[in-house]
Structure 1
Amino acid sequence: MRLHHQTPFVISTALSVHAGRTVGLKMEALQPSGSFKLRGVGHACETYRARGAQRFISSSGGNAGLAVAYAARALGVPAVIVVPETTSDRAQQLLRAEGAAVIVHGASWQEANAEAQALIGAADAFIHPFDDPLLWEGHASMIDEVAAEGFRPDAVIVSVGGGGLMVGVIRGLQRNGWGDVPVLAVETAGAASLAAAYAAEERVTLPAITSLATSLGAKQVCAEAFDLRHRHAITPVQVTDAQAVTACARFLDDHRILVEPACGAGLAVVYDMPERLADFARVLIIVCGGATMTAAQLAAWQQGVPS
């Protein structure tokens, strides 16, 4: 049973005209759980269930948690999602609507994650939001689908939080013979743990997450995302919160799809930094999604986000 859907791949006329080059979109926002996370999470949940897991535990009030809750319901397995106090009421409602038990604990994901780890019993499987080879294997399938469409990009734009999406995309590129296709790894200022790690040549931990793009809010990237810089061409790129929010609004106008700022960060490279794409004739953007985003929240951010 495959839990994720094969999502549409489209050439964006609006973004292609704006950037002066062909821009392809992999529409992961259209997954049933609302984001790309379902690919990797679904694969992990199916694998752990086959190994005998009787309950799933995770630590995310956002896209990963929703993917776990969706997969658990589809597989008939109970799920417990531990979320920090900052998790919105809407996100908690969405988790409960999928049948998950929700525990609110701690002021940050790190504290919620520690609580989730403490709950793990012998018959449980912990589903990490971004650091598990099973997740990366699942995420790689989106590149298989792009390859099946016959679209070979000259560069791929991905948003980076903990790094799981980027690792999966690169695995997909490499297994399709596209190991020479560079990746632009986009973060918002205030959540740029990958850029900080690459600059320091070690996996640094950010003192705090100050970006509103909370889905990018991993204080430290996973080890595989850090180590990949030696095996693949990766260029860190940073955008502001305001650029990410504006990109969400422009994308809504261009494609009638609402995404969160973590996704808008990648789109902002095309909207605000087309010069960064000068060397590439064909660009692929992973439209990663954002299950808890609302039109009201976007409007509020448009009114109040600092530049």
Structure 2
Amino acid sequence: MSDVQHARERIAEALAPTPLLLDQTLSERLGRRVWLKVESFQHTGSFKARGALNWLRTASDEELAGGLGAVSAGNHALALAWAARRTGVPVTIVMPENASPFKVEGSRALGAEVILHGDINAAWALMHRLVEERGLTLVHPYDDPRIIAGQGTLGLESLEQAPDAQAILCPVGGGGLIGGIGVASSAWRPELSLIGVEPRGAASMAHAWSQGGPARLDGIASCAKSLAAAIVGEHTYPLSRRHVTELVAVDEDAIHRAMRHLLYQAKLVVEPGAAVGVAALLEGGATLPSHGDVVVVVTGGNLGGEELAEFL
């Protein structure tokens, strides 16, 4: 918990708290207040700026000397490129070939070298080679204590902004965000239910739970590319087992319905991976406490016009 609190102190000057917005339609439907934590309003368009900036501000000169490397579907790439540009450190990112063009172009505009290569597993294999060949320092998108601590600052904010919350629904990819929120919520409000939501076609955390540890999925099939981690982390897995109350999976149709709800009812433009928590509520898939407010983490809003058109 002290790591999360120190991370908050480090990044506060550059990253202001994001709003908590009341979803009127969902609130009326569920008979309780449903709040949306809109990280789509954060720097670089997602929560990832929190962890990236905390990592950079705790990095040693030796770690920075050869430049940084990362694998990302896009949001970690944008965040790391933004944070590294503030200190003049070069960044190399490997993204899957099906990565969002909006995120690829945005990362390059921030100064990162972006290499498109294969699927997420092939992208990781290439990055490991580049770390050896170029002497890069790998900044893992989720399985790093400094990244997790930075993401945990979102949990602190949410608990302060919603003092009556009894449940938080959080999208799960590799588990860094829900791990950080779990540290904060267990320390500050241990009775709170922390519910992880995954796409059914990329349910890597549920797979890890069933296998007793991180285990790689053979393939990923979901429109929620920001949650397309093929394997969860050695750090994030035990944090999830310790702090997460329930895991819920939502299918592609549910994600599409949630996207339309956020666009037309909540008036928010977000990416598919950010909509899975709302999908779980619309589908009635999450086990909620009998009373109290609900917070849904809306993780990011980085998508281009062509991508958005698929959900209109």
| TM-score, L = length of structure 2 | 0.87
User: Bigger CA drift: 224-233 or 20-29?
Assistant: 224-233
> In structure 1, what is the equivalent of residue 279 of structure 2?
268
Match of 1:288 among 285, 290, 299: 299
Task: Quote how far apart the aligned CAs of 1:278 are.
Answer: 5.7
1:169 matched to 2:212? The reply is no
Mapped partners of 1:72, 1:275: distance in 2: 38
Q: Which residues in structure 2 correspond to 1:107-256 (within 5 Å)? A: 107-120=118-131, 124-149=136-161, 151-175=163-187, 177-256=188-267
Q: Which amino acid is 2:94 matched to?
A: V
Task: Quote how far apart the aligned CAs of 1:18 are.
Answer: 2.1
Q: Which runs of 5+ in 2 are unaligned?
A: 1-9
Q: Secondary structure at the match of 1:102?
A: strand
Mapped partners of 2:261, 2:215: distance in 1: 34
Mapped partners of 2:265, 2:127: distance in 1: 40
Mapped partners of 2:276, 2:158: distance in 1: 21
Match of 2:56 among 45, 50, 53: 45
> In structure 1, what is the equivalent of residue 310 of structure 2?
300
Q: Which amino acid is 1:241 matched to?
A: E
Mapped partners of 1:275, 1:83: distance in 2: 32
Aligned residues: 299
Task: Quote how far apart the aligned CAs of 1:244 are.
Answer: 0.8
> In structure 2, what is the equivalent of residue 305 of structure 1?
none
> In structure 2, what is the equivalent of residue 30 of structure 1?
41
Task: Quote how far apart the aligned CAs of 1:224 are.
Answer: 3.1
Q: Which amino acid is 1:92 matched to?
A: V
Q: Which amino acid is 1:162 matched to?
A: G
Q: Which amino acid is 1:48 matched to?
A: A
Q: Percent identity?
A: 32
| TM-score, L = length of structure 1 | 0.89
Task: Quote how far apart the aligned CAs of 1:146 are.
Answer: 2.4
Q: Which amino acid is 2:193 matched to?
A: P
1:9 matched to 2:9? The reply is no
Indicate if the aligned counterparts of 1:56 and 1:78 stay in contact, CA closer than 8 A. yes
User: Bigger CA drift: 282-291 or 6-15?
Assistant: 6-15
Q: Which runs of 5+ in 1 are unaligned?
A: 303-307
Task: Quote how far apart the aligned CAs of 1:220 are.
Answer: 1.5
Q: Which amino acid is 1:242 matched to?
A: D
Mapped partners of 1:36, 1:72: distance in 2: 16
> In structure 1, what is the equivalent of residue 4 of structure 2?
none
Q: Secondary structure at the match of 2:310?
A: helix
**For the aligned residues, what is the CA RMSD?**
2.2
Task: Quote how far apart the aligned CAs of 1:163 are.
Answer: 0.7
Mapped partners of 1:51, 1:271: distance in 2: 48
Mapped partners of 2:36, 2:214: distance in 1: 31
Indicate if the aligned counterparts of 1:158 and 1:285 stay in contact, CA closer than 8 A. yes
